[in-house]
Amino acid sequence: MKNSLFFLFLSLFTFHLSAQNAVFENGVRKGILKFKLKTELIAGQNESTSKLDLLLQSLDVEKREQLRSKITKHKGRNLKRLFPRSTNASLENKHKKHGLHLWYTLDVDESSTILNLIEEFSALSIFDIVEGFYEKKLTNDGDYKMLTDKEIKTFSMSNNNYFNDPFLGQQWNFHNTGQLGISPSPADINMYAGWDIQQNASDIIVSIHDYGVDVNHPDLQNNIWVNEAELNGTPGVDDDGNGYIDDVNGWNFREDSSGVIPHFHATHIAGIIGAENDNGIGVSGIAGGSNGTGVKMMTLDWLDSFNVGMSYVYAADNGAVISQNSWTFGVPDLYEQSTIDAINYFIIEAGNYAGSPMKGGLVVFCTGNDGADVVMWPACYINVLAVTSIGADSKKADYSTYSSWVDLSAPGGHGIFIGDTTAVLSTMPNSSYGYAGGTSMAAPHVVGVAALVLSKYKHHITPLELEFSLRYGANNIDQYNPGYENRLGSGLIDAQKALDFLSSSNDSSSFRKNNSSVEDEIELTVYPNPASSEFKIYSEEYLDGEIRIYSTNGQLVTSHKVNSKVSEISVSDYKKGLYFIKIIDKKGKSILKKILVE
Q: Kindly state the smallest distance separating residue 313's Cβ from Ca ion, in Å.
A: 14
Phi, psi of 304, rounded to the nearest 5 degrees:
85, -15
Q: Kindly state the smallest distance separating residue 279's Cβ from Ca ion, in Å.
A: 5
Q: Kindly state the smallest distance separating residue 234's Cβ from Ca ion, in Å.
A: 5
Cα 223 from Cα 232, distance rounded (Å): 18
Cα 466 from Cα 511, distance rounded (Å): 12
Residues that bind Ca ion (CB under 5 A): 165, 219, 230, 233, 237-240, 242, 244, 246-247, 276, 279, 282
Q: Kindly state the smallest distance separating residue 191's Cβ from Ca ion, in Å.
A: 14
- 440 assigned to active site: yes
Which is catalytic among the residues 265, 268, 414, 445?
265
Q: Kindly state the smallest distance separating residue 549's Cβ from Ca ion, in Å.
A: 42
Which is catalytic among the residues 143, 165, 188, 210?
210
Residue placing its CB nearer to Ca ion in the complex, 108 or 316: 316
Cis bond leading into 411, ω under 30°? Answer: no
Cα 188 from Cα 411, distance rounded (Å): 7
Q: Which segments within 370-529 are labelled E, that is strand?
A: 385-390, 408-411, 424-428, 432-436, 524-527
Side chain identity at residue 88, one-letter code: N
Which is catalytic among the residues 394, 432, 440, 490?
440
Whether the CA torsion 447, 450, 456, 457 is positive or negative: it is negative
* Integer CA distances (angstroms), 278 to 165, 169, 196, 293, 433, in order: 6, 13, 14, 11, 16
- Close Cβ partners of 155 (under 8 Å, ≥ 6 residues apart): 147, 166, 167, 169, 170
Residue placing its CB nearer to Ca ion in the complex, 276 or 467: 276
Q: HEC states along 485-546?
A: CCCCCCCECCHHHHHHCCCCCCHHHHCCCCCCCHHHECCEEEECCCECCEEEEEEEEEEEEE
Side chain identity at residue 244, one-letter code: Y
- Close Cβ partners of 483 (under 8 Å, ≥ 6 residues apart): none
Tell me the three state secondary structure of residue 89. Answer: helix
Tell me the three state secondary structure of residue 205. Answer: strand
Q: Kindly state the smallest distance separating residue 273's Cβ from Ca ion, in Å.
A: 13
Residue placing its CB nearer to Ca ion in the complex, 167 or 327: 167
Classify strands 408-411 and 385-390 as parallel, antiparallel or unpaired: parallel
- 210 assigned to active site: yes
Classify strands 77-81 and 103-107 as parallel, antiparallel or unpaired: antiparallel
Q: Which segments within 261-305 are labelled E, that is strand?
A: 296-301
Q: Kindly state the smallest distance separating residue 177's Cβ from Ca ion, in Å.
A: 19
Residue placing its CB nearer to Ca ion in the complex, 230 or 465: 230
Per DSSP, 168 falls in state: G
Angle (CA) 337-342-345 rounded to 5° is 125
Residue placing its CB nearer to Ca ion in the complex, 168 or 581: 168
Residue placing its CB nearer to Ca ion in the complex, 58 or 164: 164
Residue placing its CB nearer to Ca ion in the complex, 88 or 337: 88
- 265 assigned to active site: yes
Q: Kindly state the smallest distance separating residue 344's Cβ from Ca ion, in Å.
A: 24
Residue placing its CB nearer to Ca ion in the complex, 221 or 504: 221
Enzyme catalytic residues: 210, 265, 440
